[in-house]
Amino acid sequence: MEKLQITLKSENVNNSNRVFHLLVDPEGNKYELRYEDSLFILTNTECRNIAMGLNLMNLARFCRQHELQYKSCVNGEETFPMFNSLDKIYQELKDNRIVRSRVVHIEDSFEYNYIVGRFFEAPSSGIESMPEGMYFVEPIICQPLISECNWELMAERVIWLRNEILQLDINEFALKINVPANLYAQFEQDRIHLPLVLQGVLHTFPWLNEDWIIGK
């Protein structure tokens, strides 16, 4: 088993620029993942006072060792793999208009930088020159790396939708979009980057214009 280099971090950190993902292992243990101070912070929801700080490579190793998957915000029982083929990752990065990201080829313990449709550190900056196998894509995507998305304005519009149109309190709205109430409350209070909210809102209210809700 590969030895992971981890850093234990106190949870008494107030950071208003956080992105959350929910992860789950085969036994049903749940984790919250965020990015903070150049590290990926992984917290078991049953033990919130201690968190692990990992770089991208060690996060990929930890997720593989523990068979972690993304937990759907739409269907609480649905999960999505954290490792995929390079072709699928490349297409998703393009479809989601990601400007910059990183991917890890876990078998070779090698990291590639993705910038606007090209992979650097590859022999020819293209996927055809990269090794076969499963890849791990950087899970935290910050607002400046997503084209045409204004997270602060998106938060204002989601709050306006909840208050003025739906007239729901925070707990009612969080339940409706299938996002944990504590995370949604942090989204409103700190304007954190929370992809779960955007996914849940668009799924629950398909009549909303996506361009409007993301702040275009």
Q: Is the pLDDT of residue 123 over 80?
A: no
Instruction: Tell me what the mean pLDDT of segment 126-144 comes to.
Output: 74
Residue-level pLDDT at 19: 53
pLDDT digits (tens, 9 = 90+) for 40-57: 888 888 877 778 898 999
Residue-level pLDDT at 158: 92
- Mutual angle of helices 151-160 and 181-190, in 10-degree steps: 120
Name the pLDDT band for 215 (thresholds 50, 70, 90).
confident
Residue-level pLDDT at 90: 86
Closest by alpha carbon to 54, among 43, 39, 38?
39
Burial class (CB in 10 A: 0-12, 13-18, 19+), 6: middle
> Mapping DSSP to helix (H, G, I), strand (E, B) and coil, where does residue 33 land?
strand
Q: Is the pLDDT of residue 7 over 50?
A: no
pTM: 0.61
Burial class (CB in 10 A: 0-12, 13-18, 19+), 51: buried
- Right CATH for 151-213 from 3.90.640, 1.10.3470, 3.40.720, 1.10.260: 1.10.260
At position 119, the amino acid (one-letter code) is F
Sign of the torsion formed by the C-alpha atoms of 14, 54, 152 and 181: negative
pLDDT digits (tens, 9 = 90+) for 149-186: 677 788 889 999 999 999 999 999 999 988 878 778 87
Percent of residues, the chain, with pLDDT higher than 70 = 77
Residue-level pLDDT at 160: 93
Name the pLDDT band for 63 (thresholds 50, 70, 90).
very high
Q: Are 113 and 102 within 8 A, CB to CB? A: yes
Domain spans of the chain, in order of start: 7-80, 83-138, 151-213
